Structure formats: C-alpha cells, structure tokens
Amino acid sequence: MILKILKSFYDFFFPPLCFGCLKITKGEKICPSCYQKIFSSPIIVNKKIRIYALGYFNIPFNNLIHEFKYHHRLFLKEIFGKALSKIIINDYYLKNCDYLIPVPLHKARLRERGYNQSEILAKEIGKITDKQVLTCLIRKKNTKSQTKLKEKERIENVKDAFIFDNHYNIENKNLILIDDVMTTGATLISCAEVLIENKAKEVFGLVIAIG
C-alpha cells in the first residue's frame, strides 16, 4: 500500500516518458505511435549500393539512436533488431544474403564507448534471421565524427578508412552491411568497396535511420 502511494507520487513528479518522442506514456518505454513508426514500411535508397532504413533521422529515431549509442540503453537492440530483421525477411534480395557485416568502430572509439552499437545490432539480427555475423572489416583510421562535415569532406574522411581481415572468406557471398545511421552513404559505400575488392558478390546496406 505504502509502496503504491510512493509510486504514484514518484510518477506524478517523474512521469514515464517515451524514449522516442518524450511524451508521457502509460509506463511503456516506447509509446504505441513511435512503435508503429519503427515497424512501418522501410525506406529504400539506391546509392552505389541499395540501402534500407526503418525511417528518417527525426522523431522517434533521433532520440532512440542517441539513447542506444551514448546512454547504454541496450534494450533498444531488441526492438531495432526485430524491426530490421522484418525488413530482411520480407525482402527478396536481403533474405538470400549470406552474412551480416557490422560497420566497425576504430579501436580507440570502441574503448571509449565500450561497445560497437552496429555489432550489437548485427548480432541481434543474426539471432532472429539465422544469419552469421562476420566482423571482417577493420577501421584503421580514427575518422572524425561525420556529423559536422559536408558531403565532399565525408567522402574524403572515410576514404581508405577500412581494411579487410584476410582471415575471412567472402568470395561470391552476398552481404548486408549493418550500421545505425546513414547520412550521405559515404561510410557504407567505402565499406562496400572494400568488400567487393575482396570478392564479395553483392553488398547491401541496412540501417536504423537515414539522416
């Protein structure tokens, strides 16, 4: 009883907020409207490779990705993993792909953050879709954050940033690159080029949001 009263006081002053749109919820971490946005139809863009996303980098994706990436809200891997897996399962090209390849972080960045959000996502998707995750890319340049750079600078920034780990064999395989956000696509394209140079057949991109 006393706990219940304390809880209602607590909820009055600190009501539960949706992590996506920051509106008050009935206790859910993600409100039904944001949930619905996460699971609506994917966006597909064709750059040098075909890239699929759950949505654009605005509400709720911007807030959710920020929580996932910088505040260790790792429960989000389940919902994103489920939604991204749904895209794979329903897509002719993606469902026949062989491996999931997370976009790597530089080891200095990895040490700082403690985890690579793209690898966490890839593993979650791998569990659901029964696809193997290959960490066959290495980020050798600690690239500047892409967020404040112009398109040309971004391409320059990620040029030669990735190398292939020769312990892996991707010859004739179809691959899905996994990342959290795509802005110009420079990072995904740079990764795809390295994979193609190493004899991959086809490479696709799958991200949470397009910025």
| Residue ranges in contact with Zn ion by CB under 5 A | 18, 20-21, 31, 34
List, in order, residues 6 or more apart from 169 with CB less than 8 Å away. Answer: none
According to DSSP, residue 146 is labeled: G
- Please say which residue, 29 or 154, places its beta carbon nearer to Zn ion: 29
CB of 43 to Zn ion, least distance (A): 19
Q: List, in order, residues 6 or more apart from 6 with CB less than 8 Å away.
A: none
Least distance (Å) between residue 30 CB and Zn ion: 6
Please say which residue, 30 or 203, places its beta carbon nearer to Zn ion: 30
Could you tell me the smallest distance in angstroms from the CB atom of residue 41 to Zn ion?
A: 19
Decide whether 31 or 136 has the Cβ nearer to Zn ion. Answer: 31
| Alpha-carbon torsion (4, 6, 9, 15), positive or negative | negative
Residues 81 and 36: their CA atoms lie apart, in Å, by 15
Least distance from C-beta 185 to Zn ion, angstroms?
A: 28
Name the residue nearer to Zn ion (CB basis): 34 or 177.
34
Q: How far is the CB of 187 from Zn ion (least distance, A)?
A: 28
**CB of 58 or CB of 96, closer to Zn ion:** 58
Taking CA atoms, 56 is separated from 47, 52, 72, 127, 170, in Å, by 16, 11, 22, 25, 31
CB of 25 within 8 A of CB of 16? Answer: yes
